[in-house]
Amino acid sequence: MACVMDGNGRWAAQRSLPRTSGHRAAETTVIDVIEAARAAGVEWLSLYAFSTENWSRPGAEVDYLMRLVRAVVRKHAPLLHARGIRCRFLGVSDPRIPGALARDFADLMTLTGDNRGMTLTVAFDHGGRGDIVAAARSLIRAGVAAEAVDERSFAAHLPFPDTPDVDLVIRTSGEQRISNFMLWQVAYAEWVFPTVLWPDFRAPHFLECLHIYRQRDRRFGGALPERNGDSRS
């Protein structure tokens, strides 16, 4: 599963608050969703926290986000470890990321590296196109012949190649865009677009999205068998 955490700015605007207030309010949702996913038996959860495109936001907002994320990581590291959650960070390559934050990311990955209760991947400074380009460069550097490249070998050169394809993506706030998120892994994902803004999203919303997903027929480009003499495509 994966979540595109959208709507922090609109949540703040609706309350005549600065955008930073929306980001701060999102912390509660993040922990609630992690706990709900773990309780529901989700083994892999990815959260889209900061995209490569988000660097274009006002500098003051970006600086605030960096400080906030560091505070959240340091605050909740013991809880995540106690829950048996393995934490990973997808991206984190831009030199503008503060060194202290990058070290906190690395420390959390080391702390939780042997956990197997659930894998939590936080996409931070992430772009799906960039990951695909990086994989292509890796294949070239490895001297892999063009004829030898297939989907399996290509995926092996993506960051965290053990990450399975995403089954369900939840994007809050009603917006319906991929936004350059894990483009390879979401190729056949189901999407749910709840209208609730991310800071108001809670475990019951999450479970409702799971319910919607479970009602769907996943075809992967194929056709379902006939039912009562009617063909379905």
Q: Is 44 annotated as belonging to a binding site? A: no
184 is in an annotated binding site: no
Check whether 52 is labelled as a binding-site residue: yes
Say whether 130 counts as a known binding-site residue.
no
In the set 54, 115, 167, 200, the catalytic residue is 54
Q: Is 165 part of the annotated catalytic residue set?
A: no
Catalytic residue list contains 54: yes
Residue 129 assigned to a binding site: no
> Binding site annotation covers 219?
no
Short-list 159, 163, 162, 165, CA closest to 138: 159
What is the separation, in whole angstroms, between the first and last Cα of the chain? Answer: 25
For 83-127, where are the alpha helices, taking DSSP H only? 99-112
- Cα-Cα-Cα-Cα dihedral sign, residues 82, 116, 105, 194: negative
- Please tell me whether 171 is known to bind a ligand: yes
Of 6, 104, 125, 131, the catalytic one is 6
Q: Is 180 annotated as contributing to ligand binding?
A: no
Among 157, 110, 177, which Cα is nearest to 102's?
A: 110
CA 114 to chain centre: 21
Would you say 29 and 5 are in contact if contact means Cβ atoms under 8 Å apart?
yes
53 labelled ligand-binding: yes
Q: Using the 8-state DSSP alphabet, how is residue 226 labeled?
A: P
Residue 138 is assigned to a ligand binding site: no
| Contact criterion met (CB below 8 Å) for 198 and 5 | yes
Distance CA 220, CA 124 (A): 29
Tell whether 61 is in a known binding site.
no
Taking Cα atoms as reference points, which of 102, 35, 28, 41 lies closest to residue 70? 102
Question: Which residues does the annotation place in the binding site for Mg(2+)?
Answer: 6, 190
Give me the active site residues, please. 6, 54
Question: Which residues does the annotation place in the binding site for substrate?
Answer: 7-11, 19, 23, 51-53, 55, 57, 171, 177-179
Question: Which residues does the annotation place in the binding site?
Answer: 6-11, 19, 23, 51-53, 55, 57, 171, 177-179, 190
